[in-house]
Structure 1
Amino acid sequence: MATYTHGHHESVLRSHRWRTAENSAGYLLAHLSPGDRLLDVGCGPATLTADLAELVAPGRVTALEQTDEAVEIARAELLARDVDADVVVGDVHALELADDGYDVTHAHQVLQHVADPVLALREMARVTRPGGLVAVRDSDYAAFAWYPRLPGLDRWLEVYQAVARHHGGEPDAGRRLHVWAREAGLTDVTASADTWCFVDPADRAWWGGMWAERVLPSRLAETARAIGAATSGELEEISQTWRAWAGHPDGWFLVPHGQVLARV
């Protein structure tokens, strides 16, 4: 199992709680039906899980995370949303779940962090019934684009990619999802792409402010210093660059995602 690069600092959870079915799972929504049994792998703080649970109700939803700490964060969010779901600790490489138990198995921003995404997809397919769907969506860091082209953000991307790969992940996962799906033995695969775009002042303030914090106290920063990818001074400069970008009247940031729907 790879190490989760971001950790669970408040700035990380803040960005994850922003995710909804509409802004992060649009490619999947038309394929969901009331009564579907759904597994959400790597559910994070479970805002997206809660949205999906409401769409498949009265179908049963299972939310899976890899640590007790992460499970408790997810459970608290689901309770606050009054969503009844099973929340379990598990490893996507070896799911302790029965074969064919779900109609839909979903993972958002997960495969970029795992040690073996092909094995993870095989496991997701195993627990999905014949005719069911495996749905995965991941960003692609090398394809991120922004304006103005501030050198500090180029440096941020270098540091992030170094840390993510040190942890055993693949930050440029989006472009690889369809390949991994085929390598996992899935043959009925539909690949697509979608984006997040942060351009208006409120979105820039939120996205840039979040990353300005995230590069300082989080697991990303700790590992960057430990492996020599960046010094504390460099991380502070990157943080200030994020704030400068957020305040720039012409600021624009694009996050592209690869998406795969695979019929089992």
Structure 2
Amino acid sequence: MSEKGNKYLHGYEEVEQERLMEQANVIESKIFDFIDYEDCQRLLEIGSGVGAQTEILLRRFPHLSITGIEYEQKQIDKAKKNLASKGCEMSRISFIQQDAKNLDLLKVFDAAFVCWVLEHVTEPIEILRSMKSALLPHAKVVITEVLNSTFYTYPVRKEITHYWEIYNDYQRSIGGDPEVGAKLGDMLEKCGYRDISLRSGGFHLDSREQEEKKKVFTYWKNLMSSGASAMIGEGVISEAEVDSMQQTMDELRDMPDSIFYYRFIQATAYNR
């Protein structure tokens, strides 16, 4: 998802659309094992993108009907293809092309889901405020967001730390916030949500979990690489620096004693 006036860090190329589907599967249990929409019927998904999270929601909660809000029509078109190819019941899902900061919806919802969206927008609190107008009283809201300063790999390699610093600085320069997860509680409070709870989720992988660690190193290398095209195009990084990061991530992936660590923040709250 992007918003009017904002660049999207990861871009909309087909390879990125495919990466989003793969990423959702790699991290699914870390996010969805802690979500319960069993008492909900109509869910609003903000920033539905290519349907990566939508497919998981449909599969895990077969009683839900879902409305996905997405700013980019090309993402909606891809989402419909992705969900159809997964055998999803398309009558349970609809997509609306809108700016999530100015929602104008005919339905109201008893649940909302936001995942990896607020990091990409200039005023995330405006989305949380706009979303309230589409929610019933006591509607359940679950938001999962990044906290990129927690990323750590061992052995520490400058090829990775240097790239990650540029990556996050670039996201800030185009209006995003790579630390927005830490601010979820305050933003939800300011917007009038209640019963706010926060938890930290993520990865801490070492020699005890070799296969999982290899999978996550590959996933994270691809995530970092997804911003490379835009950063190279704007001259903030070179192709050589990108190649160096990728090669080093592969080296750490195959190193028995390497470590991967990262935390995100998941907020659960309710509409007043």
Q: TM-score, normalised by structure 2?
A: 0.85
Q: Mean Cα displacement is larger for which, 56-65 or 144-153?
A: 56-65
Q: Aligned residue for 2:57?
A: 52
Matched residue type, 2:89: V
Q: How does 1:89-108 map to 2 (within 5 A)?
A: 89-98=97-106, 101-108=108-115
Q: How does 1:68-107 map to 2 (within 5 A)?
A: 68-79=73-84, 80-84=86-90, 85-98=93-106, 101-107=108-114
Matched residue type, 2:65: R
Q: Mean Cα displacement is larger for which, 49-58 or 12-21?
A: 12-21
User: Is the 8 Å Cα contact of residues 40 and 111 (structure 2) preserved in structure 1?
Assistant: no
1:46 is displaced (CA, Å) by 2.2
1:212 is displaced (CA, Å) by 4.1
State which of 145, 151, 176 in structure 1 corresponds to 2:152.
Answer: 145
Q: Mean Cα displacement is larger for which, 133-142 or 71-80?
A: 71-80
Instruction: Give the 3 Å change call, closer, same or farther, for CA 179–239 of structure 1 in structure 2.
Output: same
- Separation (CA, whole Å) in 2 of partners of 1:14 and 1:53: 14
Q: Aligned residue for 2:7?
A: 3
State which of 183, 196, 217 in structure 1 corresponds to 2:190.
Answer: 183
1:249 is displaced (CA, Å) by 1.0
Percent identical across equivalent pairs?
Answer: 21
Matched residue type, 1:6: H
State which of 234, 256, 264 in structure 2 corresponds to 1:257.
Answer: 264
Q: Deviations over 1:209-260 (max 9, x none)?
A: 34445555x4x21332244421222122112111111111122212211111
State which of 28, 31, 34 in structure 2 corresponds to 1:24.
Answer: 31
Instruction: Give the 3 Å change call, closer, same or farther, for CA 156–46 of structure 1 in structure 2.
Output: same
1:224 aligns to 2:270 (yes or no): no
- Separation (CA, whole Å) in 1 of partners of 2:253 and 2:20: 19
User: Is the 8 Å Cα contact of residues 41 and 65 (structure 2) preserved in structure 1?
Assistant: yes
Query: How many residues were matched structurally?
Result: 259
User: Is the 8 Å Cα contact of residues 34 and 55 (structure 1) preserved in structure 2?
Assistant: no
Q: Aligned residue for 1:170?
A: 177
What is the alpha-carbon root mean square deviation over aligned residues?
Answer: 2.3
5+ residue gaps, structure 1: none
Q: Mean Cα displacement is larger for which, 103-112 or 42-51?
A: 42-51
1:183 is displaced (CA, Å) by 2.3
- Separation (CA, whole Å) in 1 of partners of 2:28 and 2:57: 6
- Separation (CA, whole Å) in 1 of partners of 2:218 and 2:261: 16
- Separation (CA, whole Å) in 2 of partners of 1:237 and 1:14: 26
Q: Aligned residue for 2:66?
A: 61
Q: Aligned residue for 2:138?
A: 131
1:14 is displaced (CA, Å) by 4.8
- Separation (CA, whole Å) in 2 of partners of 1:260 and 1:44: 20
Matched residue type, 1:89: Q
5+ residue gaps, structure 2: none
1:87 is displaced (CA, Å) by 2.0
1:41 is displaced (CA, Å) by 1.4
Q: Deviations over 1:105-163 (max 9, x none)?
A: 11011111112110011122221100111210112101112222121111121011012
- Separation (CA, whole Å) in 1 of partners of 2:32 and 2:171: 23
User: Is the 8 Å Cα contact of residues 44 and 68 (structure 2) preserved in structure 1?
Assistant: yes
Q: TM-score, normalised by structure 1?
A: 0.87
User: Is the 8 Å Cα contact of residues 191 and 258 (structure 1) preserved in structure 2?
Assistant: yes
1:205 aligns to 2:222 (yes or no): no
1:165 is displaced (CA, Å) by 0.9
1:178 is displaced (CA, Å) by 0.8
